[in-house]
Structure 1
């Protein structure tokens, strides 16, 4: 039983090796590009901030002229918490739905393991994807930082990337839940992408419009803010705990639903 279960996670890891490698290279290159841009722009960033005074939806924009603030605004506040989250969610949404759509789920169900273990192992199979992309990007940022001789706290950088893990796992658990509900791979992926984008928009609106401040509370983006850690070194313990609880809750919901649903094979 254990061997079969472990094999499902292993096959998920192996299946996503190419994706892991490609996404890691893309984000390492993007991180290197933005970090290396800073020396050319740092003399003009104060003036640039005056030209864009209404950027309140970018958390930490008031520190844009500093190197950590520049990285936060250019890399982490959009590409990291939005684009990368969309990618993780897209991949997660296909974990179960593609097996059902491709008529290969019967092979998994024929194994002597409960259904919930299939969902759990599929989820665990994406954890290395998150870790590799995460820390490969961190290594790229720190490497270029040393190369251009700029100041950036390694502790703050490490903490920023470590705290992103619960955020991305929450996104993946959301994708897994949708994947157990919607049988079509592309439809499931589009739904998760829409939910991630909607989450980002809700948080942005809550920052721009004080009357809608509480709207951010229903956004996963609200509970992970790279600016606080990268720039100031603060740790949002409440936000991190919230993301862990959400991840566990969504994953449990996915396992329970998949246990009870009817599947045509």
Structure 2
């Protein structure tokens, strides 16, 4: 059972470790930089920016470590950086095997196409869990080391509730992976879709006449800065993201069933 998932998960361990180390190092630098800026009116730098850009940058109470981390790490590294990363990785899951003709061998075994996609998707939980656990732990410990206090429950919620958002990015990548003929096209398409959706929420969604369009972006349903500062969250938003992920996963399975390999 789950032989494909175990095999694919094993292949992702090294990349998960490298990703976690890279994000942890950047997070450590940001925390150190916050201590260097102590006493500096950071918010004055952003006061002339339009409200839409302030919202896009996640600028909220930069005088606190929570607000600074929200703007410098979670609104870019998590929302944009990791969103693009998981969309890109998921975009190559099926398309790579089709392009290399490895898919013919996989489908010769007693495994359905739906199960194959599900198990490949399941293997992506390795980097999803590893990066959240490792980076979250590093941020909390390093902040404590430099004398800053972060509510551990708020930090836990930031990482836990990021999973539904990142899963939606994975779902977008899977749909692109079963549609495109080449892995490079699928990966770029997935990255492009996630990036456009990020811009839709961050820029276009700030205009009153286009306010409705923000509901199509997954970033609308995950706001890490207020969650990190005061623990504000809505489980309905997480539920919407999970339903969206399931819908994208089912769509990728349907499209893969209809595709001629």
Residue number among 125, 138, 141 corresponding to 1:140 in the alignment: 138
Residue number among 108, 111, 132 corresponding to 2:109 in the alignment: 111
CA 60–87 in structure 1, closer or farther in 2 if over 3 Å, else same = closer
Q: Please name the residue that 1:192 is paired with.
A: 190
- Structure 2 matches for 1:63-82, cutoff 5 A? 63-82=61-80
Query: Hey, what's the Cα distance between the residues in 2 that align with 1:160 and 1:103?
Result: 40
Deviation at 1:207, TM superposition (A): 4.8
TM-score, normalized by length of structure 2?
A: 0.95
Q: Which consecutive unaligned segments of at least 5 residues does structure 1 have?
A: none
TM-score, normalized by length of structure 1?
A: 0.93
Check whether the contact 2:12–2:126 (CA below 8 A) recurs between aligned residues: no
Deviation at 1:212, TM superposition (A): 1.9
What secondary structure, in the 3-state scheme, does the structure 1 residue paired with 2:134 have?
Answer: helix
- Structure 2 matches for 1:174-189, cutoff 5 A? 174-189=172-187
Q: State the number of aligned residues.
A: 259
Q: Please name the residue that 1:22 is paired with.
A: 18
Q: Please name the residue that 1:47 is paired with.
A: 44
CA deviation map 1:165-184 (0-9, x unaligned): 11111111111111111121
Note if 1:91 corresponds to 2:89: yes
Q: Please name the residue that 1:255 is paired with.
A: 253
Q: Which runs of 4+ in 1 moved over 6 A?
A: none
Note if 1:128 corresponds to 2:138: no
CA deviation map 1:135-184 (0-9, x unaligned): 11101110111011112101000000000011111111111111111121
Check whether the contact 2:31–2:69 (CA below 8 A) recurs between aligned residues: yes
Check whether the contact 1:59–1:225 (CA below 8 A) recurs between aligned residues: no
Note if 1:227 corresponds to 2:214: no
Check whether the contact 2:198–2:219 (CA below 8 A) recurs between aligned residues: yes
What secondary structure, in the 3-state scheme, does the structure 1 residue paired with 2:47 have?
Answer: helix
CA deviation map 1:93-124 (0-9, x unaligned): 00000000001001110111211100000000
Check whether the contact 2:20–2:134 (CA below 8 A) recurs between aligned residues: yes
Q: Please name the residue that 2:9 is paired with.
A: 13
What secondary structure, in the 3-state scheme, does the structure 1 residue paired with 2:55 have?
Answer: coil
Residue number among 29, 32, 49 corresponding to 2:28 in the alignment: 32
Q: Please name the residue that 1:203 is paired with.
A: 201
What secondary structure, in the 3-state scheme, does the structure 2 residue paired with 1:56 have?
Answer: helix
Check whether the contact 1:57–1:207 (CA below 8 A) recurs between aligned residues: no
Query: Hey, what's the Cα distance between the residues in 2 that align with 1:43 and 1:209?
Result: 34
Deviation at 1:134, TM superposition (A): 1.2
CA deviation map 1:53-104 (0-9, x unaligned): 6532336413122110000001111121101111111111000000000010
Query: Hey, what's the Cα distance between the residues in 1 that align with 2:9 and 2:94?
Result: 14
RMSD: 1.5
Check whether the contact 2:46–2:54 (CA below 8 A) recurs between aligned residues: no
Query: Hey, what's the Cα distance between the residues in 1 that align with 2:210 and 2:116?
Result: 40
